Amino acid sequence: MRALIAFLLAAAFAVLPALAKDKAKREPPPLEFKKQEQILKWINDYRKAPEPDRLPDVVHAMGDLGLFRDLENAGVYIGFTAGVLGANPDRAERLVARMFPMPPEDQVVLIRAIAYSGLPDWKALLQKFVERMPARMVLLRKYLYGDGKTLKEMPITDGGYVLDALWGYYFATGDREPARRLVGALALSEDKNDVEKLTIGSMAKWTLATNASREKELLDILSEEMNTQPAEVRKPLREVIEAAETFETGKIKKDALAAIDELKTKGSLNSRNYNWWGQVGQTALALGCVGAAAGGVVAAGIPCVVGGALSSAALKYLAPAQ
């Protein structure tokens, strides 16, 4: 018996190194993000080779880099996290579990991402992690039992945060639905009386054109939408498609500036509108012209558009002089 036990132990110790080596081959090396640009590049490249199991590490890196400090600027990260969860229902619970421990201030992002995921049982998923987020009970109750809105329920007129979240979801999935909602926002780019709606529509128009100029799949979606959208959307959508096909997105920016100047001349921009300029759509996605790291789309002196959303610099470039 002793000889048999000794033999089994020896066999086990002989097999363990091989198992460890095999596991090392199967598991990719850990991701290291030292800059926001590295995370943005990973998001931009995600759909080329999706790796949903890396999401918890990426979310931790986002938190460590302070990308969740201003939630209004974190829409793209929240939308992206939601998209990965929604596209992987069989892994969602395991992915969320691996995001813990998570600082209470960052848990807001996770709660929203679960609610935005589009999973049919997202409330049941959220309920499983209630005990791990005691500091967020007010927000948890709002989403579980109150009026907390999902991404699909948030009106596009809520501004840049919604646009960014939709782009984040699209980057994670390539789904038609977020793209369709962004297309629907194009009607606002024709508004001649409301500067807030005009700005939201202009942001949607510019980002759609810029992304579609670099991604055939998105351009195909836009072309198909021409057959289903109402007249007030088809006109600006036609302009988006033309700009994307000819790589002349600068015209969209020029037209947006002219429309804003016209509203300014009419005297329709009040103090509330000016304050609003400093809040809407200051997305983190292109902050600091991340094109240098992610897409290489940087023009001297001109705010860049990367991966779909506008940078705060671009917002200031579009904003009227006070």
Task: Determine, yes or no, domain membership for 146.
Answer: yes
Report CA-CA distances (Å) from 176 to 146, 181, 273: 29, 9, 32
DSSP helix/strand/coil, 162: helix
Tokens coding 254: 């020029």
| CB-CB contact of 80 with 165 (8 Å) | no
CA 89 to chain centre: 19
User: What is the pLDDT, as a whole number, of residue 146?
Assistant: 95
What residues does 175 pair with on adjacent strands? Answer: none
Domain that includes residue 148, residue range: 36-153
pLDDT at 96 over 50: yes
Query: Are residues 211 and 66 located together in one domain of the fold?
Result: no
pLDDT at 36 over 90: no
Residue 306 neighbours by CB under 8 Å, 6+ apart: 40, 44, 285, 286, 289, 290, 291, 294, 295, 297
Query: Are residues 196 and 208 located together in one domain of the fold?
Result: yes
User: What is the pLDDT, as a whole number, of residue 24?
Assistant: 43
Query: Are residues 104 and 198 located together in one domain of the fold?
Result: no
Task: Determine, yes or no, domain membership for 199.
Answer: yes
pLDDT at 317 over 70: no
Mean pLDDT over the full length of the chain: 79
DSSP helix/strand/coil, 321: coil
CA 283 to chain centre: 9
Query: Are residues 232 and 305 located together in one domain of the fold?
Result: yes
User: What is the pLDDT, as a whole number, of residue 159?
Assistant: 80
DSSP helix/strand/coil, 121: coil
Q: Examine the fold and report which residue of 153, 169, 199 is the final residue of a domain before the chain moves on.
A: 153
Out of 50-59, 188-197, 284-293, the most confident range is 50-59
Q: Examine the fold and report which residue of 121, 153, 185 is the final residue of a domain before the chain moves on.
A: 153
Query: Are residues 128 and 262 located together in one domain of the fold?
Result: no
* pLDDT-above-90 percentage for the chain: 48
pLDDT at 260 over 80: no
Furthest C-alpha separation in the chain:
97
Q: Which of 211-220, 240-249, 298-307 has the lowest mean pLDDT?
A: 298-307
pLDDT at 284 over 60: no
Q: What mean pLDDT do residues 172-183 have?
A: 95
Task: Determine, yes or no, domain membership for 22.
Answer: no
pLDDT at 266 over 90: no
> b vs e for 224-242, b when ≥16 Cβ sit within 10 Å of the residue's Cβ?
ebeeebeeebbebbebbbe
Residue 130: pLDDT band with limits 50, 70, 90: very high
Task: Determine, yes or no, domain membership for 132.
Answer: yes
Q: Examine the fold and report which residue of 153, 180, 196 is the final residue of a domain before the chain moves on.
A: 153
Q: What mean pLDDT do residues 73-100 have?
A: 96
pLDDT at 302 over 90: no
Query: Are residues 193 and 305 located together in one domain of the fold?
Result: yes
Of the candidates 82, 109, 241, 99, the residue with the CA atom closest to the CA atom of residue 173: 82
Task: Determine, yes or no, domain membership for 148.
Answer: yes
User: What is the pLDDT, as a whole number, of residue 124?
Assistant: 98
User: What is the pLDDT, as a whole number, of residue 188?
Assistant: 92
User: What is the pLDDT, as a whole number, of residue 17?
Assistant: 59
Query: Are residues 108 and 165 located together in one domain of the fold?
Result: no
Residue 270: pLDDT band with limits 50, 70, 90: very low
Query: Are residues 115 and 189 located together in one domain of the fold?
Result: no
Q: Which of 87-96, 238-247, 263-272 has the lowest mean pLDDT?
A: 263-272
- What is the number of domains present in the chain? 2
Query: Are residues 107 and 183 located together in one domain of the fold?
Result: no
Query: Are residues 174 and 83 located together in one domain of the fold?
Result: no
Helix 216-225 with 195-212: angle, nearest 10 deg: 130
- pLDDT tens for residues 67-77? 998 888 888 89
DSSP helix/strand/coil, 311: strand
> How big is the chain, counted in residues?
322
d(CA 269, CA 290): 31
What residue spans of the chain are helical by DSSP H? 2-26, 36-45, 55-64, 75-87, 92-97, 107-116, 122-127, 137-145, 160-173, 176-184, 195-212, 216-225, 231-246, 250-266, 271-277, 312-318
- pLDDT tens for residues 185-229? 999 998 888 877 888 888 888 888 888 988 899 999 999 999 999
Query: Are residues 233 and 260 located together in one domain of the fold?
Result: yes
Task: Determine, yes or no, domain membership for 166.
Answer: yes
Query: Are residues 74 and 197 located together in one domain of the fold?
Result: no
Residue whose token pair is 């967020």: 136
pLDDT at 269 over 60: no
* pLDDT-above-70 percentage for the chain: 71
**Residue 31: exposure state from Cβ atoms within 10 A (0-12, 13-18, ≥19):** middle
Higher pLDDT, 254 or 54: 54
User: What is the pLDDT, as a whole number, of residue 217?
Assistant: 94
Out of 32-46, 129-143, 179-193, the most confident range is 129-143
Out of 71-85, 224-238, 242-256, the most confident range is 224-238
Q: Which of 36-45, 77-86, 280-289 has the lowest mean pLDDT?
A: 280-289
User: What is the pLDDT, as a whole number, of residue 259?
Assistant: 76
d(CA 308, CA 290): 12
Task: Determine, yes or no, domain membership for 23.
Answer: no
What is the DSSP code string of 218-286? HHHHHHHHTTTS-HHHHHHHHHHHHHHHHT-THHHHHHHHHHHHHHHHHT---HHHHHHHTTTT-BSTT
Task: Determine, yes or no, domain membership for 17.
Answer: no
